[in-house]
Every structure is written in structure tokens, then in C-alpha cells.
A = this chain, B = another copy of it.
Amino acid sequence: MTTTVTPSTRNGVDTATLFATLDAVKAAPEAAAFQFRASNQWLTGTHSRSTIHGFFGVGEERTHERTFTFDADHPAILVGHDNGPTPIEYVLHALATCLTAGLANIAAARGIRLTEVKSTVSGDIDLNGILGLDPDVRNGYQNIAVHFTVKGDASPEKLRGLVEQSRKRSAVYDILTSNVPVTIDITTD
């Protein structure tokens, strides 16, 4: 007698848990309401440090297994001390990691084994905007270009389809390409 075992883990993704999670959210859509947070402390000049630890999801307050801290700064050419990447470089990292995580999940769900996924993300910005020197120049990136290299046991067409489906379901791609309402309030005492 031969037993065929369907492996539950593919590309490091536990597909049984992935599908169970989808079923659980289908049954209780309110479980999908999440809130993510970062707390920041100014250090000096353009240097500040953020802490990421708690979040809300699946009906309750949760925490990451560790407390993550990240510094941002400007390089010397932008009058900082280079204690970390610039804030807008973190956005490029966020886009790359979001598209890549989705791609691995989608490949696992489609039964495709990945052997390599690499990407580079570049953003062009004209600092005449943030420096207030040209009112016709926007403050942020004028465009962002992503280049993916994807290898695995599927046709080039199917591998390309993974990136396309990940783009369609990417939270970071969405917030860069469609406006998000941002509110700011301030305490001074």
C-alpha cells in the first residue's frame, strides 16, 4: 500500500494553516480588523528611533515576540549624521518585503516551489519639493520602480503571475498608489 503525503509546508509557508486562517476569517470576518502601531522618540537633529511591539488583531491586543527598534536619520549630504536610512528608504524596503511575502504565500497556495526571489526597488525624488524651493515639485517620490527576479519549478508565465497576484493583494502597494487618510493631532504640554 502506498500512502501519498501532501506536504503542508511549501516555500516555508504552512499552507494548511494558511488555508485554515482563510476559512476562519470567512466564518468571522470581524477577526480581520487589525491595527498596527509604531512609537517614535526624537533623539537629535534628523535622528529618531521607533519602537514596534504591540498590535491589535483577531479580537484582542497582541505583541510581537520581540520589541523591534529602528533608527532613521539623514546622511551628511542632507545635513544629518547617517545613524540610519532615511524615512523614505524604509518605504522602499516596506514595498519590497510586502510584495515578496505575498508572492511566497501565493506560490505556496498554487503549489509552486520557489528557489529564488530577489528584488530591487528604487524611488526618484526631487528635493526641490521638500526644501520648499519649487512649488511645482511634489514632496515625495515622483515614481518608484521595482525589479523582481523570481525562480522556481513553474513556467516563466506562472512565475510572472505570482508577482502580478501579489501586487493585486499588496497592502504597501495599495497605500502608495491610492490615497490613505492621515490625521495628525498634537499635544504641547
Contact = CB atoms under 8 A, between A and B. Distances in A.
Interface residues of A, number: 130
B82 A174 contact: no
Nearest to A161: B186
Contacts of A43: 12
A119 B80 contact: no
Interface in A157-189: 159-160, 163, 167, 169-189
Given A82-B64, A150-B186, A144 B72 contact: no
Given A104-B46, A176-B180, A36 B94 contact: no
Given A13-B79, A114-B42, A182 B144 contact: yes
Interface in A13-45: 13-14, 17-18, 21-22, 25-26, 29, 32-45
B79 A25 contact: no
A75 B82 CA distance: 30
- Which 7 A-B residue pairings sit nearest by Cβ, starting from the closest? A12-B44, A12-B45, A140-B174, A72-B97, A42-B117, A40-B96, A87-B98
